[in-house]
Amino acid sequence: MDKDFLLETKTARKLFHDFADKMPIIDYHCHIDAADIADDKKYDNITQVWLYGDHYKWRAIRSNGVDEKYITGDASDYEKFEKFAETMPKLIGNPLYHWAHLELKTYFGYEGVLSKDTAKQVWDICNDKLKDMSVRSIIEESNVKLICTTDDPVDSLDEHKKIKEDKTCSVKVLPAFRPDKAMNIEKEEFISYIDQLEKVSGVRIENYNDLKNAIINRIDYFDNMSCLASDHAFEYVRYIAISEDEVDRLFFKRLNGDVLDNAEIDAYKSAFMLFVGKQYAKRNWVMQIHYGTLRNNNTRNFDLLGADTGFDCITTKDSARGLSDLLNALDIDESLPKTIIYSLNPNDNAMIGTVIGCFQGSEIAGKIQHGSAWWFNDTKEGMISQLKTLASLSVLGNFIGMLTDSRSFLSYTRHEYFRRILCNLIGSWIENGEYFSDMETLSQIVKDICYNNVVKYFGFPV
């Protein structure tokens, strides 16, 4: 993993070293806590910044037969780090092996191999370096210019205000609106969440129209806080057109504690997405749709550990019709916002590549985007597959590039990983004679995908 890691051709090496590697980073979708940036958090040891909350690593350690005590349990931070170090040599072909070593090299200057034998040495090196590191210094060293967090409509965004007012903070941090709890009418906590929304918005919610007014209140609040993006998570996407009276009936039925059937749930979510999509379009926000996740599959561990602890998987339910019908319903009224579509199922790549071609617009190049390889797909092969499909079915030069989707401030090396893969792929096309070798054009494509396109697409103030 030297300076030419993954760069197999002369063209690839030039594109990466002279252009891609010099571009700043925009992390437009992640799950970091804005409070950590506001407080400029520091870490006592590498486990805290590396393993806390990282279900990618947790899954790998579990798969190595390690007791949960050393993953999310009460073992010491060093014991948890040691168990990950023991797992590392077995991760051949896993992006964790690449990511972890890129992070050790970039932030801590360690160029060896992490293993059980080197665990104590790496632990000491990292912890010594961490004494002079903080969240903001990591961000600055990574050349990150802007971060979008993921925020619930009821969030106060107080930490975002604090960051905005802090003139010593060089990175811009914007909220992203994620109203899943208002959309997921089937969830047990839906009714209690409506009570929360009612208190925060100041809107008495007795029917569906009241809910819409409360959501608009929060969208306006986020908009005033410079929000430019929303995000929605689905197991699958269905679209069922229903009347306002019918969706009001379903909302009232659920508020009374009744259980809706699957068709009613899909109909409500369809109406909700149609409503919020139109609101986003009015404000020139970007709508992100993440789907294809079957969550919390291990009941015993979910009861013990809760959500987002590493027990989710890919679902194969078809969403082509639902995606197309949702985008079409918004487009008919000329209310389709800029939209990014991500599927956890890599078999959907070609489908998404063709769906987005049905709804492009003249407002901006690449109005409807095939989102970057996500979660289980942000592997070397997953990224290559997404890039090749996008290139063959759409316009790769308009792609808005990589994001971390991470809870760790050391994950910015994922942008480097992506950029190396991107440059190597383009380099292979050049040296295979599939595209003309004009470095001015090629360098512009690379710089655009790495940085320029995403700034223009969202309208980020950088």
User: Distance (Å, rounded) from C-alpha 246 to C-alpha 308?
Assistant: 34
Query: For 292-348, how does the pLDDT look when each residue is reduced to its tens digit (9 = 90+)?
Result: 999 999 999 999 999 999 999 999 999 999 999 999 999 999 999 999 999 999 999
What's the CATH number for 10-41+134-458? 3.20.20.140
Confidence band of 434 (pLDDT split at 50, 70, 90): very high
Residue 222 burial by CB count (10 A; 0-12/13-18/19+): exposed, middle or buried?
buried
In degrees to the nearest 10, what's the CA dihedral of 287, 293, 294, 295? -70
Average pLDDT over residues 412-441: 97
Sign of CA dihedral 407, 409, 410, 415: positive
User: Distance (Å, rounded) from C-alpha 117 to C-alpha 389?
Assistant: 42
Question: What pLDDT sits at residue 356?
Answer: 98
289 membership: H or E segment, kind and range: strand 286-291
User: Distance (Å, rounded) from C-alpha 212 to C-alpha 336?
Assistant: 18
- What angle separates helix 190-201 from helix 244-255, to the nearest 10 degrees? 110
CATH topology of domain 42-133: uronate isomerase, domain 2, chain A (1.10.2020)
Average pLDDT over residues 151-155: 98
What residue spans define the domains of the chain?
10-41+134-458, 42-133
Query: For 191-218, how does the pLDDT look when each residue is reduced to its tens digit (9 = 90+)?
Result: 999 999 999 999 999 999 999 999 999 9
- Provide CB contacts within 8 A for 167, sequence distance 6+: none
Buried b (16+ CB within 10 A) or exposed e, 403-413: bbbbbbbbbbb
- Say what the pTM is: 0.97
Alpha helices in 207-298 (DSSP H): 208-224, 244-255, 262-283
Question: What pLDDT sits at residue 1?
Answer: 87
Confidence band of 398 (pLDDT split at 50, 70, 90): very high
Question: What pLDDT sits at residue 401?
Answer: 98
Q: For residue 73, is it left (φ>0), alpha (ψ between -120 and 50) or beta?
A: beta
